[in-house]
Amino acid sequence: MDFDQLRYFVSVAQTLNFTQAAKLHYITQPAISRRITELEKELGARLFLRSSHQVALTREGEEFFRYALSVLDMTASAKRRVRNIALGKTGHIRLSAISTLDHVVHRVLAVFSRRCPQVQIDLEFSTGMVQMSAINKGEYDFYFSFQTLLQSNESLSYLVTDEDRFHLFVPDTFAGRVDPDDFTSLAPLPLITESRSEGPFLVDQVFSICRARGFDTGNIIACNDLRAVAAFTNAGMGFTLFPGAAGKSINTEHVRSFPIPGDDALTVNAVGWDPRSGNSAAAEFLAVLRELYGGGDKLPLPASDLHQI
């Protein structure tokens, strides 16, 4: 097994088309088919079901796909890290952020990158569920997230960065009928939001806000990420709710926004980290965070207090 085989396999798995995958790698279709067959023989399992009209992953192929992606991602990260060290990037920090907190990330990075230009920064935006999994695996040095999400993990310390208010985003054509205190006028429109499996903390608060204002949350369009939510809302397919700061960084060209009054429409943002980390670059990053947002970081909650969150 070699890296070319892994790359060919991933391309076929993503396109489900041997000819298209071959074009991506500038090789012939018979050549990529031969390399995949060799890989299957080495693994002792069929990775694809092939017919004259269709290609599909087998159960073994689906399982191997996750490992192949991980190996290729790790290899790319290793190459990037070594090159950066050769260029004088001696430190390294890894950041995870949920999509609605890019305004906080931008502010912190603007200061940190000027102060510590020798540090390599890896940043990934993701949904709340993906971030929860990353926290449990300790994959990043810092997590920009909702305070409620960070509180749910006993191993993290966190620092509150800001407070935001949910806004109601509706198509221009519907804006004249909106009352941010009463959502009953929105009944003809579906609610567009992230799926709960991707953003449980965000979606739970969205549902709570809607129900408190008379909207039946049974009429929804669920999306995998915030960009899809914005695209559907701009297309006039429904309305959505998300923190106001996020509206500044996505396309809302055909949408009107309204701040939603009430304490239940507030959300507290924070950044968390594992205090046991020995990463010296992370210590420098934490110093910037404390300068920007104060030094009163919160310690992990006792397990007995978690049920009160």
Instruction: Give the residue extent of every domain in the chain.
Output: 3-82, 89-162+269-308, 164-266
**Could you tell me what percent of the chain has a pLDDT over 70?**
91
Given a cut of 50, whether residue 297 has pLDDT beyond it is yes
Helices 29-43/3-15 angle, 10° precision: 110
pLDDT value, residue 76: 74
163 within 8 A of 293, measured Cβ to Cβ? no
What pLDDT shows up at residue 300?
45
pLDDT above 80 (res 190):
yes
Name the pLDDT band for 305 (thresholds 50, 70, 90).
very low
Give the separation between CA 92 and CA 119, rounded to whole angstroms: 5
Residue 152: what residue type?
S
Give mean pLDDT, residues 288-305. 62
Cβ 203 vs Cβ 194: under 8 Å:
yes
Alpha carbons 229 and 238: distance in angstroms, whole number: 9
Distances (CA, A) of 116 to 91, 109, 242, 290, 291: 9, 10, 33, 16, 15
Q: Do domains 3-82 and 164-266 have the same CATH topology?
A: no
- pLDDT interval class at 294 (50, 70, 90): confident
> Among residues 192, 256, 252, which one has the least CA distance to residue 224?
192
> Is 3-82 CATH 1.10.10.10?
yes
| Per-residue pLDDT, 303 | 34
Residue 285's pLDDT is what?
94
Q: At the topology level of CATH, where does 164-266 sit?
A: D-Maltodextrin-Binding Protein; domain 2 (3.40.190)
Q: How sure is the predictor about 213, in pLDDT bands with cuts at 50, 70 and 90? A: very high
Decide which of 3.30.830.10, 3.30.9.90, 3.40.190.150, 3.40.190.10 is the CATH code for 89-162+269-308: 3.40.190.10
DSSP bridge partners of 159: 271
Question: Contact, 236 vs 254, CB < 8 A?
Answer: yes
Residue written as token pair 């088919």: 33
